[in-house]
Structure formats: C-alpha cells, structure tokens
Amino acid sequence: MREQAQPVRRRDLLSLIGAMAGSGAMYHAMTSIGFAAESRYEGPIRLEGDPKGASVLILGAGLAGMTAALELRKAGYSVRVLEYNARPGGRNWTLRGGDRFTELGGITQVCEFDEGLYINPGPWRIPYHHRALLDYCRRLNVALEPFIQLNHNAYLHSTRAFGGRPQRIRAVQADFRGQISELLAKVTRQGKLDETVTKEDQEILLQALRSWGALDRDYKYIASLASAESRGYAKAPGGGLSAAPAPSDPVALSDILKSRLWRYLQNFANYNFQSTMFQPVGGMDMIGKAFAKELADVITYNTKVTGIAQNDGGVTVSFIDTTVPAKRWTATADWCVCTIPLSILSQLPMQVSPAMKAAIDAVPYAGSVKIGLQFKRRFWEEDEAIYGGISYTDTPIRQIAYPNTGFNRSGRGVLLGAYLFDGANAYEFTAMPPAERVARAVEFGSAIHPQYKSDFECGIAVAWHRVPFTLGCSGDWSEDARAQHYRDLCQIDGRIVLAGEHASALPAWQEGAILSALDAINRLHERVVRT
C-alpha cells in the first residue's frame, strides 16, 4: 500500500521491468527511454583537411575538454585549455592520503588514508562497451584492472527483512530463481500453460527450469545438494572423514518476495553493469593525469570563467586567475569548445542563441554522495570472504563497495562506505557537515559489518552538490527536457559548441563526455575546413 503511493520513478520502473522480465526486456525498455545507448565509437577520430592555423579555446580540462584538446591539436589547430581546478580531470578524480578537499561552505577535509589507499569520489567503473574511453586508456597507457560489480558473497540487506540480517547475494539470487522456477514448473505440469505453450515446448521448459532453478527430480526447490550448489552449503564439502557436505535451507517464495531484496538484482543484470567492468590501476584519476601529461603546455589551471562573448570574428572568454582574483583576463580564439557543467554555465553571461540558452537552463544537476572509510584491517576479506564487489542495503548509505585491488593482504583497507545517487537520502547526507556524513556512514554500515565499530579509523565524504567545480554530480535530464532541448544544446552556435556528459545520451558516464567531445569537434572541423 505504502509502496503504491510512491510516484514511480524511471529507475524504479527499470528495476521492476528488470526483475519481472529479465535483462533483455530491461535493455529494450532502457533503450526506449534514453539509457543504455550503445557506444558509437568507431575508432580514433580522423579530422582530415587543413584548419589553416585556426585557434580553439577549450573551457574545462575534464575528459571532454582534454579529448577535444588532444584531437584538435593533432589536427593542426592551435589550442588552449582553461581549467577552474588546480589539477586536470574534473570529475575524473581520486582522493588519497594527504589530499585536501574544501567543499562549498568552506569546510576542508584532509584525507588521512594510508599510502596506496584511495577512493574515487566521481566515476569509479568502466563498462566493457565504453569503447572510446577504453581506447584512450590504451593509447595513453593507462593500466586497467577488473572492477567487480557482482560478488556472489557480498550482501543484500534490508532493515525490514530477515530480522535485519544481511543475506548473501548468492542465496537471494538462487532462491528467487529457484522459487520462481518451482512455481512455473508447477503450473506447467498442472496444464495451466496448455493454451499458450505447446506440449513439446513445455517439456523443454521443464528441463530448463530444473537446470536454471536448481530444482530436484520432482521440480521442487528444496534443501538438496543441487540447490546448495547455487545458494551455498550449510556445511561445505571438506576432506577426510568429515568431508560430506550438508545442504542449506532455501528461503520460501513468500519470504523472498516480501523481503524485496530481489530489487537489487537489477544491478547485476543492467547492461551498464555487466561483466567485464574495469577500473584504472591506482585510481580513476590516472586517466585524467595521462591526458594532462600530453597537454601540459596548453592547460592553464586556476582559471574561473566569468563570461563568454562571440561575434563574427571569434570568441572572447573573460576569466580570473583564482590565485590572484582581483585581476581580470580575457582569452580570444576563432572557436570555443565549452565543457563547463550546465550548473555553472547557466549562470554565466554568454552570447548564444535563445534556443541554446534555453537548453543550458533546462537541466537540473543531480545530488550524489560518496564516502570513503579506512579500517585497521580488511575484515570483509579476513572474516567474511568478500573480495571486491558491492553490498546493497535499504539504509541511507545504499551501498558498501569493497576495494577491487590489494586482495588478501594484511593491514589497512579502504572501502566505499556509502554511495547515494538521487533520492531523498542524497540530499540529507549533503546537508550534513562532512564529519557527520562519515560518522553516519559508520553507524549505518555497522548494521551490516559489526567490525566497523572496532576497526574504523578515518573517512572522507564528498557530496557533489557541495563540489565547487560542478555544483552537482551530473546533468539530470528529464525526458521532456531532452525531447525539447537536447538538439539545441548540441548545435554549433556561431563559434561555440558544447561538450560533456550533459551533451550525451550517456549521462554521468565518462564515455558520454568523450563521445560528445568527439562529435562536437568533428562537426566543428567540418565547418572550419569548409569555410
């Protein structure tokens, strides 16, 4: 009843479709509502023809801006990049021991992680089908390692199911599948599918359900060595005299349904999260740093853009040097690729058409919070045999993600103690002082891992609405706004073209930022060589 009263959100809808109909149905649904668009990357961009020394001013040294700078310079343009931060990468960012971060409102956190430990406050995983990003990683020699999205031994947790005890993903998945298979086998054998499924297909269906659902000879999902092979054993196979395994008891259909833990299974079925996923070795910012190494002579850091003007002759961008803010500067160029997030761009005086201005103003920025926690020891591995992957919970922290590197070592470890995206809790955590965010993450997380209480050492919390260089996590297009404004946002407007994840069909993904930059400079280059 109470669930029904909640408005259905796009993500909820996808969760439902995914859970009810499987990932195939969800993929079709996602494609039709704007997610899961295939990466269109077709290999390194080829900008042919002579730009005759044309100059391009690029605003923002995130992945979009640096992709544009790298490729345009290679094609013969004179490029310059203005970046607000003192470092490259933008949201491609890693926090390590010794790093300082001052959020809006003025509170500075100092990261106290041990050497080699880090969190990625922004993007943290790369799908195998993000071919453009992967290609740049290869070309720029950024080493990758697996990012584990599905760890069968991690947990699903609800405060309102199983007495608040976390359940192993393996068991929930096996029981959900097994119980549905038993049910479907039962109605099949009762002849209730006779009108829709041929006798021959029913035989095949029963075989499939027995195999897929780990059913017994009588199509029952019961405690057996067959079901134990999916959901795990009460007593695992051993050696010698005590070798015999003992099966575990499955959870009843009604209990598994009412637990609602099934809703987290979409996180493993979703196209964006399917194996294989990657992360850069040593932190996500290895990508931004690799780009910046190539572009060291063209990026100017600590610049805050204050206005963007254009006429028939070119573009003039006014900015201040944030280390000497009293003085105003201008930079001019023939063209401008602007990757400034719309949350900031919408506030700047900017000479563009009313249609582009309306598009820039049409996109709210989502809230998101990530919290890194350092512990004395890797108890999740030592005590619970959880090596990488993610536990999901209905408490406000939503996720606990275990490090996908440094496995099986003694000593300290850092895990991601909260990852909130959208929804009420993201705002509630943003509104707290950083130290309280960390303390609350420890509090909520200890319901899943009691070791938190004794082993926690320090943490750092990034709330994206408080991040000075973005004022939000990512462009949160509504379907209506996208239909009305997206094309206007992406058009070349006089001498200005926009790029970034906000100008893509892959919102909040680095691939979107790169693909939008490639598309923008391709069109810009066509115009330049034509004139």
Instruction: Candidates 1-9, 93-101, 108-116, 234-242: pick the segment binding other proteins (CB under 8 A).
Output: 1-9
- The verdict on 147 binding other proteins (CB under 8 A) reads no
| DSSP 8-state code for residue 365 | B
- The verdict on 343 binding other proteins (CB under 8 A) reads yes
Instruction: Candidates 15-23, 188-196, 372-380, 392-400: pick the segment binding other proteins (CB under 8 A).
Output: 392-400
One of 466, 482, 485, 525 touching other proteins (CB under 8 A): 466
Sheet holding 413-421, edge to edge: 167-168, 155-157, 389-393, 399-402, 413-421, 368-375, 456-463
One of 203, 229, 249, 361 touching other proteins (CB under 8 A): 361
**In whole angstroms, how far apart are CA 385 and each of 379, 381, 393, 407, 410?**
9, 4, 19, 10, 13
Instruction: Candidates 193-201, 285-293, 326-334, 362-370: pick the segment binding other proteins (CB under 8 A).
Output: 362-370
Query: What does DSSP say about strands 413-421 and 368-375: parallel, antiparallel, or unpaired?
Result: antiparallel
Q: What is Dmax (Cα atoms) for the chain?
A: 87
- The verdict on 2 binding other proteins (CB under 8 A) reads yes
Instruction: Candidates 186-194, 221-229, 402-410, 433-441: pick the segment binding other proteins (CB under 8 A).
Output: 433-441
**Would you list the DSSP string of 339-360?**
---HHHHTTS-B---HHHHHHH
Question: Element (H or E) spanning 525, and its range?
Answer: helix 510-530
Q: How far is the CB of 443 from other proteins (least distance, A)?
A: 6
- The verdict on 321 binding other proteins (CB under 8 A) reads no
Radius of gyration over alpha carbons of the chain, in Å? 26
- The verdict on 110 binding other proteins (CB under 8 A) reads no
One of 363, 441, 517, 528 touching other proteins (CB under 8 A): 363
The 10 Å Cβ neighbour count of residue 188 is 19
Nearer to other proteins, 248 or 430 (CB): 430
| DSSP 8-state code for residue 271 | G
The 10 Å Cβ neighbour count of residue 305 is 22
One of 62, 367, 388, 507 touching other proteins (CB under 8 A): 367
Q: How far is the CB of 437 from other proteins (least distance, A)?
A: 11
Q: How far is the CB of 165 from other proteins (least distance, A)?
A: 14
Nearer to other proteins, 246 or 431 (CB): 431
One of 157, 210, 370, 465 touching other proteins (CB under 8 A): 465
Q: Where do runs of H (alpha helix) occur along 190-294?
A: 199-213, 225-231, 253-259, 266-269, 285-294
- The verdict on 472 binding other proteins (CB under 8 A) reads yes
Nearer to other proteins, 215 or 317 (CB): 317
- The verdict on 432 binding other proteins (CB under 8 A) reads yes
Helices H / strands E in the chain, number of each: 18, 24
Please state whether 410 falls in left (phi above 0), alpha (psi between -120 and 50) or beta.
beta
Phi/psi of residue 331, each to 5°?
-130, 140
Instruction: Candidates 204-212, 253-261, 288-296, 339-347: pick the segment binding other proteins (CB under 8 A).
Output: 339-347
Site string for other proteins, 62-101 (x = CB under 8 A): ----------------------x-----------------
Nearer to other proteins, 84 or 379 (CB): 84
- The verdict on 365 binding other proteins (CB under 8 A) reads yes
Q: Where do runs of H (alpha helix) occur along 75-194?
A: 131-139, 169-189
- The verdict on 216 binding other proteins (CB under 8 A) reads no
Count of chain residues binding other proteins (CB under 8 A): 57
- The verdict on 379 binding other proteins (CB under 8 A) reads no
One of 151, 279, 425, 516 touching other proteins (CB under 8 A): 425
CA distance 33 to 28: 9
CA distance 226 to 213: 9
Q: How far is the CB of 113 from other proteins (least distance, A)?
A: 22
The single-letter code of the amino acid at 250 is P
- The verdict on 301 binding other proteins (CB under 8 A) reads no
**Would you list the DSSP string of 27-80?**
HHHHHHTT-SPPP---SS----S--TT-EEEEE--BHHHHHHHHHHHHTT-EEE
Instruction: Candidates 142-150, 166-174, 330-338, 416-424: pick the segment binding other proteins (CB under 8 A).
Output: 416-424
**Chain positions contacting other proteins, by CB under 8 A:** 1-2, 5-7, 9, 12, 84, 104-106, 159, 304-305, 340, 342-344, 346-348, 361, 363-367, 394-396, 422-425, 427-428, 430-432, 436, 439-440, 443-444, 446-447, 453, 463, 465-472, 476
